[in-house]
Amino acid sequence: MNRKATTLAAGIAAILATAAFALAGQAAYAANVNIDIVPGASTKTNDAFSSNPAEAHVGDTVVWTNKDGALHTVESGSSGAPDGKFGTKPDKSPELIPPGKTLEFKPTQAGDYPYFCSLHPAMVGTLKVTGS
């Protein structure tokens, strides 16, 4: 190929890559859903998480960010009993979320996911997941 043809081919490849990326993004409708662990969360209840309840779609990435100065957990389940869907290790011990850190969960099934902080069990929230 001469230089002109090479440049043209590179340009077409770049356009196709951009189009493929855009289509892939559109097909999934995936988004980030951000939930804050609010300042002073330790003494709060269902207002310890914002927003609460939060809504997401299957395939989204739900990100909890600890905006408080204390350590917290975000464990799926209720009444202090983790069900292992998120926020816990395989042995069901909690994933600790230090101040400024995050926890992520990618739901693959629709439904209501109640969750709580095992360090402050009064801190409760609900994630509502609908189909993609």
Q: Which is nearer to Cu ion, 72 or 85 (CB)?
A: 72
Terminal C-alpha separation, the chain: 45
Measured between alpha carbons, how far is 3 from 5 in angstroms, rounded to an integer?
6
The least distance separating Cu ion from the CB of residue 37, rounded to whole angstroms, comes to 7
Question: Of 122, 111, 102, which Cα lies nearest the Cα of 55?
Answer: 111
Task: Count CA within 13 A, CB hemisphere, residue 62.
Answer: 29
Min. distance of Cβ 73 from Cu ion in angstroms?
6
- What minimum distance in Å lies between the beta carbon of 111 and Cu ion? 24
Q: Which residues bind Cu ion (CB under 5 A)?
A: 72, 117, 119-120, 123
Task: Decide whether 110 or 119 has the Cβ nearer to Cu ion.
Answer: 119
Specify the residue, 33 or 118, whose C-beta has the smaller distance to Cu ion: 118
d(CA 38, CA 126): 15
Q: Smaller CB distance to Cu ion: residue 43 or 109?
A: 43
Residue 68 to residue 73: CA distance in whole angstroms: 12
Q: Which helix (H) or strand (E) holds 37?
A: strand 32-37
**Cβ 14 to Cu ion, closest distance in Å?**
47
Which residue's beta carbon is nearest to the bound Cu ion?
117
